[in-house]
Structures are given as structure tokens and as C-alpha cells.
Amino acid sequence: MLALVAPANNEEAAIAMFLRAVPASPGERLDVARESIVGAVDLPALLRGEATCELTWRRWLAGLRCHELSVRDWLPAHARLVVVAPHPNDEILACGGLIATHVAQGGRVLIVAVTDGEASHEGTPFNREDLAYVRRNERRQGLRLLGLSQPRVLALGLEDGHVQQLGTLLLERLMTLLQPNDVVVSTWENDGHPDHDATGHMTRRACATLGCAYLAAPVWMWHWATPGDDHVPWLRLRGLPLSAADGSQKQAALAAHRSQLSPRNLDLGAVLGHAIVERAAWRTEYFFV
């Protein structure tokens, strides 16, 4: 069932309860974040272990000199930007700077929330319902920090971790809500996380059918791939330069996702490790065209 998500008063209690239980002193958070996602129980094997060093990527990308994307060409102010995000905060990791840029030029933005990300703390005492409340609220906070005073989030409510099995349903939903003049961004279909892959695959199919402009954003690819990796279509990579202001907004928006930046319990580190947080500070966002 489609439902427009609106702030709910009873969310605050769930959020407070959740965050009280998460150890989040700055030192502790940093220590655990350095563990990256080692040992995470909710991610495929490809995404475990140490990420490719962020500095390695930056140096290599500087030499790659991929073509630049022009917002003026790709995303005119009158167009609607639709971001299809498998989990809360994917819209930021994928294109938080692009969202901020579009908002600044007076553009409309719709976030399609494929799941509520309720499975990010499997193996901990946190129940999925509370976590979904927390993450929906974090998403709204993050989007406000990107300049959206009243974020429009269309929640599809698919089960976190099962988007591949629900791909046909996702495609049907996208076919009804996307419009031919939309500019659409989703995660790349070979990103490495099953939900990201399925979201990317179905979004690309819907856009091809409807004629929407489409950009695929790598998110977890930066974790498992290495520079020049044969599995990555580097010739299709484009860079979108961000202003300092847009870059700062993106970082602030990501920081709103506290549940993903704090250790989940004494054994499980943060979902978003230091490498992914550092990449979110890049002054360029990358997309496959």
C-alpha cells in the first residue's frame, strides 16, 4: 500500500528509547566506526571486511578525469528530481549534493522510500518497528538539512532485505508514480547489496520504459571495488562537482542518521563505517549514465 509519510507524534518516544540504548559517546563511536562493517550480520559477504581506502579512490579518480555532469543540462529547475532509495540515508549517500543543488534552484524533489531500513540492527535487541520509526525520522531530519522544509517521501513499505524478491511489485509502483519528464536517481544495479541492486535494476527498467532521464549512483561499490576494477563500467562514470555549501549540507544530513553511525551493540560496529562517511565528504558525486 502506498502511503505518504508524515511526522507522527508518537515517534519521539520510540526514538528517545532507541537512542538511549545506543552507546554514542564521541570516542566510543569513533572507535567502533573504525571497525567499519566487519562482522556485520546484515550485509552480504561482498560488503564485509575493510573498504577500499577513501584516499586511494580520491587519488585514482583525480587521474581518471571522468566527464563532468552539468546540473543545468541534466536537471533544469523546473524538473522533478525523484530519488529511489532502498534504505534511509541512501538518498544522501547517492546524491545528497544533487538534492541540495536542486532545492537551491527551486526544484521539486520526491524521495521514494523503498524500505524503512528496519533490518539494519538484526542480531541486536532493537525491534524492527522501533527502528523503522527512528529511521524514518532520521530521514526527515536529513532531508530538512538538505533544504527541504517539507520533505516529500513516498514510502513503499517493502521489506528491508527482500527487495529482490519483491522486484515486480517495485517495478509496478515505479511505473505508476514516475512521469516521463522526471529526472530519476537510484542506486546502481550492480552495487553489491541485494536491495540496492534490485532497486537500481527496476528503476532503470521503469525509466527506460517511460523515457525518464536516469542516473545510477554507486554507493557500496566504493567499498568492494578497487580502482580500475573490471566489474565497473568506468567509461560511463560522470562526476558532479559540488559547491562547498552543498557539500556541507550533505555531511550534516548524513550526520542526522545517528542510528547508522553509532555502534549497534558491543559486538557490532556502526552500519556506516568511517570510509563511507569520508566519501560523503567528497566534493564530487559520481553517477553512471
Please give the size of the binding site for Zn ion, defined by CB under 5 A.
Answer: 3
Q: How far is the CB of 160 from Zn ion (least distance, A)?
A: 9
Helices (H), the chain: 11-20, 26-34, 54-64, 71-74, 90-104, 128-145, 167-177, 194-210, 221-224, 244-255, 258-261, 274-279
Query: In 3D, which of 244, 256, 238 has the Cα closest to residue 104?
Result: 244
**Number of helical (H) and strand (E) elements in the chain, helices listed first:** 12, 8
Q: What are phi and psi of 36, to 5 degrees?
A: 55, -135
71 vs 215, beta carbon nearer Zn ion: 215
Q: DSSP label at 274?
A: H
Least separation in angstroms between residue 37's CB and Zn ion is 12
Position with the least CB separation from Zn ion: 87
Q: Does 118 bind Zn ion (CB under 5 A)?
A: no
Q: Does 223 participate in binding Zn ion (rule CB under 5 A)?
A: no
Residues 6+ apart with CB under 8 A from 245: 100, 104
Stretch in the footprint of Zn ion (CB under 5 A) among 24-32, 63-71, 82-90, 261-269: 82-90
Cβ-based nearer residue to Zn ion, 116 or 182? 116
Kindly indicate which of the ranges 81-89, 119-127, 176-184, 253-261 contains the residues binding Zn ion, using the contact rule CB under 5 A: 81-89
Cell of 180: 516521463
Least distance (Å) from Zn ion to the CB of residue 138? 13
CB of 230 to Zn ion, least distance (A): 24
- DSSP symbol at 219: S
Interaction between residue 87 and Zn ion (CB under 5 A):
yes
Cell output for 99: 538534492
By CB under 5 A, tell whether 90 contacts Zn ion: yes
Q: Is residue 102 at the binding interface for Zn ion, with CB under 5 A as the rule?
A: no
Question: Is 121 a residue that touches Zn ion (CB under 5 A)?
Answer: no
Interface residues with Zn ion (CB under 5 A) are 86-87, 90
